[in-house]
């Protein structure tokens, strides 16, 4: 699959969650700045905890990757920041894509690519590989039942002593407005609000807490807690 979305929409988080769910049977590599097959294989080896000696050749790394994948029982390959491959020349791009295709074919691995909305351009030199990737787009969050349930799940795991109250229209609307619907910004605002709530002694999140948590807690507030 090819999973795309705006920055901060949760693409990388999706890949990390796959790795956690399947107990390290999913290997995740970033394509950022990768311009050669040798470099890409080196990143896969590093992710697998294997050797990536500087003088090793592309074919050496290729075989080492295949052996490691089979011995560790890897079930899928996730390539993050896939759009970055398109920044190289067509020749560089074609070689890296050939390496990815060879690896997934030989090891019989499902391929999951994560990237920006224009990531399909990274497959311009390999239409066959592009056709194998089913496209999905991560939408921005909006005020609906799914978002309310999501926020409720976050409330349940916050380290606060009192129940929070964020599953109301006002708080949900504010979270969407201040974040633009992006997962990263939503989580950052809630995390900041939780820090403020702990340091202030409120120990609960409300609309007011969210509104006041635009910045990290002040040094004065942190000192107040330290010497309380």
- Say if pTM beats, i.e. exceeds, 0.75: yes
Pick the last residue of a domain from 108, 137, 166.
137
- Whether residue 99 has pLDDT greater than 50: yes
Please report the pLDDT score of residue 23 as a whole number.
Answer: 82
Residue 30 and residue 81 share a domain = yes
Whether 8 and 117 map to the same domain: the answer is yes
pLDDT of 218 reads 65
Total structural domains in the chain?
A: 2
**H/E run at residue 2:** strand 2-4
Q: Which of 137, 168, 188 is the last residue of a domain?
A: 137
Asked if residue 193 and residue 116 are part of one domain, the reply reads no
202 and 118 share one domain: no
**Domain boundaries, position 164:** 145-226
Q: Which helix (H) or strand (E) holds 217?
A: none
Same domain flag for 106 and 21: yes
Residue range 209-215: average pLDDT?
89
The pair of three-digit structure tokens given for residue 158, joined into one six-digit string? 């916050």
| Phi then psi dihedrals of residue 217, to 5 deg | -55, 140
> Is 153 found in the same domain as 192?
yes
Share of the chain above pLDDT 90, in %: 67
166 has pLDDT over 70: yes
What share of the chain has pLDDT > 70, as a percent? Answer: 93
* pLDDT, greater one: 143 or 86: 143
Tokens of 69: 């994948």
User: Facing residues of 2 across strands?
Assistant: 113, 135
Token couple for 136: 């999905």
Q: Is 181 left (phi over 0), alpha (psi -120 to 50) or beta?
A: left
Q: Does residue 227 carry a pLDDT above 50?
A: no
**Looking at the structure, do residues 128 and 150 belong to the same domain, yes or no?**
no
Is it the case that residue 123 has pLDDT exceeding 50? yes
Q: Is the pLDDT of residue 178 over 90?
A: yes
Mean pLDDT of the chain: 89
Looking at the structure, tell me whether residues 127 and 152 fall in a common domain.
no
Residue 154 has a pLDDT of 95
Residues 7 and 91 grouped into a single domain: yes
pLDDT at res. 228: 44
Q: What is the pLDDT of residues 18-52, one digit of tens each?
A: 988 998 899 999 999 888 888 899 899 998 887 65
Q: How far is CA 94 from CA 187, 200, 216, in A?
A: 37, 56, 45
Average pLDDT over residues 151-169: 93
């Amino acid at each position: 699959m090819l999973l795309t979305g705006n920055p901060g929409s949760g693409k990388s988080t999706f890949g990390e969650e796959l790795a956690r769910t399947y107990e390290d049977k999913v290997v995740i590599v970033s394509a950022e700045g990768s311009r050669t097959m040798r470099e890409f294989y080196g990143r896969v080896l590093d992710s697998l905890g294997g050797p990536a000696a500087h003088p090793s050749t592309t074919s050496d790394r290729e075989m080492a990757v295949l052996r490691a994948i089979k011995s560790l029982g890897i079930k899928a390959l996730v390539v993050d920041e896939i759009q970055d491959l398109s920044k190289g020349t067509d020749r560089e791009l074609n070689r890296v894509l050939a390496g990815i295709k060879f690896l997934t074919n030989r090891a019989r691995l499902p391929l999951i690519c994560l990237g920006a909305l224009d990531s399909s351009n990274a497959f311009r030199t390999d239409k066959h590989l592009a056709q194998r990737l089913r496209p999905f787009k991560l939408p921005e969050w909006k005020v609906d039942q799914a978002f309310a349930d999501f926020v409720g799940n976050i409330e349940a795991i916050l380290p606060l002593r009192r129940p929070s109250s964020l599953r109301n229209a006002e708080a949900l609307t504010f979270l969407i407005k201040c974040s633009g619907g992006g997962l990263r910004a939503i989580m950052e605002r809630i995390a900041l609000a939780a820090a403020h709530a702990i340091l202030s002694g409120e120990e609960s999140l409300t609309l007011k807490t969210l509104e006041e948590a635009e910045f990290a807690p002040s040094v004065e507030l942190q000192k107040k807690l330290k010497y309380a």
